Amino acid sequence: MNLWKIGAMILLSACATSGSGEKSDCDEMCNELYGACDYAAFPDKLSCMEGCLFAEENNADVESQKECVLEAACDTFAIIECENTYGVEANE
């Protein structure tokens, strides 16, 4: 991961932290998908965060999805299953 990517993630993480200092589910999930897994699907972390917050507004079970994504440990096949189980379409 290059320095610019680390810097951008710190910046966005700082902004996505709630008042109590707890990180949001979206922030943790995007750190995993964009940061740890380094998936090309996400052009930047902001895009991931915006998509995640939009999903949350549309009844996705983001907390469960985050747990599922973290457990998947960058197994792309498993991460797709997490979306199918907890994402927007699963909760429509």
Partner 1 sequence: MNNLISVSAVAVLSMACASDYEIKGREVNVDPGQVTDCPFTPVPGTKISVYDCNPVFENDDEELGGDVGSVGFYATEIMGHPFYQMWYTTNAGGYGDFTMNYAVSPDGTNWDTHPENPLFESYPGAWDQDSVAGQVVVWDPKESQYVMSYQGFNLNNQSDPADDIWGLGIATSPDGKVWDKHPNNPVIDFNSSQYSLTESESFDILFGGTTDKIKPCWPLTITVTERGAFRGYLAASKWQDIYNDPLGGAGKCEVYRMDGFDAGSWVIDQSSPVLAASNDYDAQGVTSASVVRYGDLSYMFYIGFEAWEEAGVGGLVYAVRTTLNLATSTDDGVTWQKDPNNPIPINLTSPGQVSSIGAQVIGTRIHLWVGDGYDGSSAVGYFYYEPDIEPHEETETTEE
Positions touching partner 1 (CB under 8 A) are: 11-12, 14-16, 33, 39-43, 46-57, 60, 76-77, 79-81, 83-85, 87, 89-90, 92
Smallest distance from partner 1 to CB 57, Å: 5
Non-local (6+) Cβ contacts of 13 within 8 A are 23, 27, 31
Smallest distance from partner 1 to CB 84, Å: 7
Q: 23 - beta bridge partners?
A: 17
Smallest distance from partner 1 to CB 83, Å: 5
Q: Among residues 47 and 73, whose Cβ is nearest to partner 1?
A: 47
Q: Among residues 22 and 76, whose Cβ is nearest to partner 1?
A: 76
Residue 68 CB neighbour total at 10 angstroms: 18
Closest CA to 9 of 31, 26, 33: 31
Asked whether 29 and 52 are in contact (CB, 8 A), the reply is yes
